[in-house]
Structure 1
Amino acid sequence: MAGSSSACNPDSAPILWLCRGGEPSVPAPPNWLTGHEHTTLSGLTGPRRHEFLLSRWLIRQALSAASQLPVEACRPVDGRPVRSAAPEGWRLSLSHSQGTAACAISHGFPIGVDIEPLQRRPQWQAIVKRWFSPREQSWLLAENDVFSFLKVWTLKEAWLKATGRGIAGNLQTLEVLPEFELVGDQDEPGWHASIVELPDCLATLVWHQATAGEPDVVIADPPGPEFRLDSCQRQPDGATPILRQTIQPRES
């Protein structure tokens, strides 16, 4: 499922970069950080500091590979990194989970990513009963499978990121029905979802594109302790696709 990740036109498929962060480190601020990123980093310590550096390093690697610009010329907008500042025109979405970082990028169309660890959630049924629709509750509780719950949860999280909304009051705007039929509250067609499985987590993409190709997945070796931009190496494809689905508009 991995590919060259070099397309940069509006019809190109979304691209997902993943990186397991390696040993946590707290290095001096790299010289490639923007002023805003440097200020943000100064207020972080320990794992949060490492997570921030890893995600900003991964954004630049993804943008460089997709646009074919030098990695040092690439950066996200200041603040919440939902789009690129250089080169312009790219949408971004980030997710983190227990030392793994994900960066999804697209050329101009909405995109969202969520990753979740593959570990048992003993209270997942309570979440379903409290926040999911009656139809979702019916099949999920009857199936009683935490893996199905994790797939549903990542779909909802990625959907909310792609549509620009928070969790509060919005988890039912995407309804996941039996056999993973997906129904969303957006009227326009062209919404898509994809889930891949890694050895320790699920990674889910949701995006909006009229003609959607198969997402490109790149797994990067972790950067060295100094977070040098020229240190990126790619691993052999370790992501297994387990779902590819179109999200249907909800009937009036």
Structure 2
Amino acid sequence: MAGTSSGCNPDMAPSVWLCPEPEASALPCPRWLTEYERTTVAKFSGPRQREYLSSRWLIRQAIGHGSKCPARECEPVSGRPVASVRPKGWHLSLSHSGGISGCAVSDQPGIGLDLEPLNRHPHWQKVVRRWFTRTEQDWLLANDSHEDFLRVWTLKEAWLKATGRGIAGNLQTLEVRPDFSLYGDRHDSGWQAASGELEGFLVTLVYQRDHILLPSGGLLAGPTADLDLDRVVPTESPLPFSWHRPIEPGN
């Protein structure tokens, strides 16, 4: 099993960390940002800038929780933050929704996170008819359950992130059947999915492991207005992953 090269001891289970964005209307650009991050955040303003800065704070906290290294010593790669630069060997997936940021971290590749408010997609039937498989359309429309739709939607989003693909043309590469058995288009083993509810959000993670292993994580107290990385950040609520399924090769 791959680990880090930093000498920090990794958690073997993937973890997911959430945080609310600060309520301040404007946030400073902290000194710990990389040059790439400074250039990127300068292109944003308002809520988009606040989201970006908050997520960069969370990424460092998430890597720190996984690697047991101080958050200030953690750094993602430039561009899409799918891995760590410091300490090396960590794989990441980021999600935002409704003023909440989430970051999943794993010491193995193949990880995808999606979080959605439980009340999102009031007209979900249109999405099902346009983008889902015929099997999914039949049972979801017959059940008429927004909760079932939302779980299927987050599973598909997390699957595409974990396998490195976008939504366009790929939503049917994971099929969810009426008993919530999962079938993907990958033939390597160990793919699995887990989800749980926290603070009005459904949080879904897709990841790859050689054996059954439930994720951990929780909701962190959000960053202060100065985005301080040195303060001790308590976990306000644990994230209960109460639902879990393997992802089988498609047939």
Q: TM-score range by the shorter chain?
A: over 0.9
Structure 1 segment 1-80 matched on structure 2, within 5 A: 8=10, 12-80=12-80
Q: Distance in 1 between matches of 2:22 and 2:70?
A: 24
1:180 alignment partner, SS class: coil
Range with bigger deviation, 212-221 or 79-88? 212-221
Q: Identify the residue that residue 157 of structure 1 maps to in structure 2.
A: 157
Equivalent position of 1:94 in the other structure: 94
TM-score calculated relative to the size of structure 2: 0.93
Aligned partners of 2:193 and 2:24: how far apart in 1?
32
Deviations 1:215-247 (A, max 9, x none): 011210001101000234223435343410000
Secondary structure of residue in 2 paired with 1:230: coil
2 CA distance for matches of 1:120 and 1:164?
Answer: 24
Give the 3-state SS of the residue equivalent to 2:230 in structure 1.
Answer: helix
The letter of the residue matching 2:189 is P
| Contact 1:25 1:225 (8 Å CA) reproduced | no
The code of the aligned residue for 2:162 comes to: A
Instruction: Establish whether residue 130 from structure 1 lines up as the match of residue 130 from structure 2.
Output: yes
Q: How does 1:143-222 map to 2 (within 5 A)?
A: 143-222=143-222
Aligned with 2:237: secondary structure? coil
- Structure 2: state its 5+ residue gaps: 1-7
Q: In 1, distance between residues paired with 2:34 and 2:16?
A: 23
Do 1:63 and 1:71's aligned partners in 2 also have CA atoms closer than 8 Å?
Answer: yes
What are structure 1's unaligned runs of at least 5 residues? 1-5
Q: How many residues align?
A: 244
What's the CA shift string for 1:182-209, capped at 9, x where partnerless? 0000011200000110131101000111
- Percent same amino acid at aligned positions? 48
Report the aligned-residue RMSD. 1.5
Alignment check: 8 A CA contact 2:22 2:54 kept: no
C-alpha distance after superposition, 1:123-155 (max 9, x if no partner): 210110111001000110000011111100000
Does the 8 Å contact 1:114/1:157 carry over to 2? yes
Deviation at 1:23, TM superposition (A): 1.0
* Counterpart Cα distance in 2 of 1:46 and 1:231: 25
Show structure 1 runs of 4+ deviating over 6 A.
none
In 1, Cα distance between the equivalents of 2:236 and 2:24? 23
SS state at 2:50 partner: helix
Partner secondary structure for residue 183 of structure 1 = strand
Q: How does 1:219-230 map to 2 (within 5 A)?
A: 219-230=219-230
Please give the TM-score of this superposition, normalised by the length of structure 1: 0.93
| Contact preservation (8 Å) 1:223, 1:232 | no
Aligned partners of 2:100 and 2:166: how far apart in 1? 22
CA drift of 1:119 comes to 0.8
Moved more, 204-213 or 154-163: 204-213
1:18-39 deviations in whole A, cap 9, x for unaligned? 1122414322210000000011
